[in-house]
A = this chain, B = another copy of it.
Amino acid sequence: MAQLVSTIALSHAPGLTGWLDKAPKEEQDSLVNGFSELGRILRDTRPDVIIGVANDHVLNLEFQNTPDFCVGTSDKWEGPAEWFKDWVAVPHYEVAGNKQVADTLVNAAGREGIRFAFRDKLLFDDNWSVPLYYLTPDYDIPLVPIHMNCVVPPLPQPEYCYRVGQTIAKIVRDELPDDMRVAFMATGGLSHDPGGPKYFDVDEKFDRWFLGLLEEGDPEKVLREATIDKMVAAGDGGTSELLAWLVTMGAVGDRPAKTVCYEPAVELRCGMGCVYWDMS
């Protein structure tokens, strides 16, 4: 049995790399320090692979056939995708994948009644490019990316996302190679509204409420209270990316989250923060 050594969740919005200098100095410092600290926490657990889950910004998952979740089965990834290069503004990078882990996730989840789509080509935008830049600047930990649908109706429900996380944790435990050390990472959120009237706003109140809720470590309460409706109300176009955070919560159960940093970064057009769960 493999071991889940690290579970984290963090924002990925492109302002963090693309125009960070436009934010107030103290916000910049708080976010850079916080994300760097999260990187140390992650790397200190010496993961052999990161299973990541993040919103697909309608870049890979077609309207014609949007799956809830799509697992990347390649042994090699790169980013950012061409059209997003100057927007995200991080250098081109390559990072290994892990086809064996990805294939196992697909087939084992299917046996549990969870359908994962899969493919060996995925374009990366800010969803992985921004987190990896801060967390693993050497791009030396293989990534199994899971792109999920957070923004094309109908969305996967919070309960289902939680169950998916539980299932991934079970597969890690029961099906991945012995002694493999696995990190689980969600990226996305917090409040933002790309494509809506609140594009230039951040809902700090919602964000602090949501982080506080995760800190309580009560999944039932989270699932009862952190509804899609509430996410959409806090920023229609993007806040529901927090569904990815609920996936990771399914893997940690009733452990309380610990918030590393949070800033209502209006100049970056996104509530930005990161958390981890102590898996020791």
- A contact set with B: CB distance below 8 Å: 64-67, 70, 110-111, 113-115, 117-119, 153-154
Contact across chains for A64 and B117 when beta carbons are under 8 A apart:
yes
Query: Chain B contacts of A70 at CB under 8 A?
Result: 65
Query: Chain B contacts of A111 at CB under 8 A?
Result: 153
- Closest B-chain residue to A67, C-beta based? B65
Query: Chain B contacts of A117 at CB under 8 A?
Result: 64-66
Contact across chains for A154 and B65 when beta carbons are under 8 A apart:
no
Nearest 8 A/B pairs, CB to CB: A65-B117, A113-B154, A110-B153, A115-B154, A65-B67, A64-B119, A65-B65, A64-B118
Docked CA distance A153–B119 (Å): 17
Distance of A153 from chain B, by nearest CB (Å): 5
Query: Chain B contacts of A65 at CB under 8 A?
Result: 65, 67, 70, 117-119
Query: Chain B contacts of A154 at CB under 8 A?
Result: 110, 113-115
Contact across chains for A115 and B64 when beta carbons are under 8 A apart:
no
Docked CA distance A111–B118 (Å): 26
Distance of A15 from chain B, by nearest CB (Å): 31
Docked CA distance A115–B119 (Å): 20
Pick 19 A–B contacts, CB within 8 A, sort by A. Answer: A64-B117, A64-B118, A64-B119, A65-B65, A65-B67, A65-B70, A65-B117, A65-B118, A65-B119, A66-B115, A66-B117, A67-B67, A110-B153, A110-B154, A111-B153, A113-B153, A113-B154, A114-B154, A115-B154
Choose among A65, A70, A111, A119 the residue with the greatest number of B CB atoms under 10 Å from its CB.
A65
Distance of A170 from chain B, by nearest CB (Å): 15
Distance of A32 from chain B, by nearest CB (Å): 38
Distance of A218 from chain B, by nearest CB (Å): 26
Distance of A4 from chain B, by nearest CB (Å): 23
Docked CA distance A67–B113 (Å): 14
Distance of A231 from chain B, by nearest CB (Å): 16
Query: Chain B contacts of A113 at CB under 8 A?
Result: 153-154
Given contacts A64-B117, A114-B154, 5 further A-B contacts (CB under 8 A): A65-B65, A65-B67, A67-B67, A110-B153, A115-B154
- Closest B-chain residue to A120, C-beta based? B64
Distance of A178 from chain B, by nearest CB (Å): 26
Docked CA distance A113–B117 (Å): 19
Docked CA distance A119–B66 (Å): 12
Distance of A172 from chain B, by nearest CB (Å): 20
Docked CA distance A110–B64 (Å): 12
Distance of A279 from chain B, by nearest CB (Å): 28
Query: Chain B contacts of A153 at CB under 8 A?
Result: 110-111, 113
Distance of A73 from chain B, by nearest CB (Å): 9
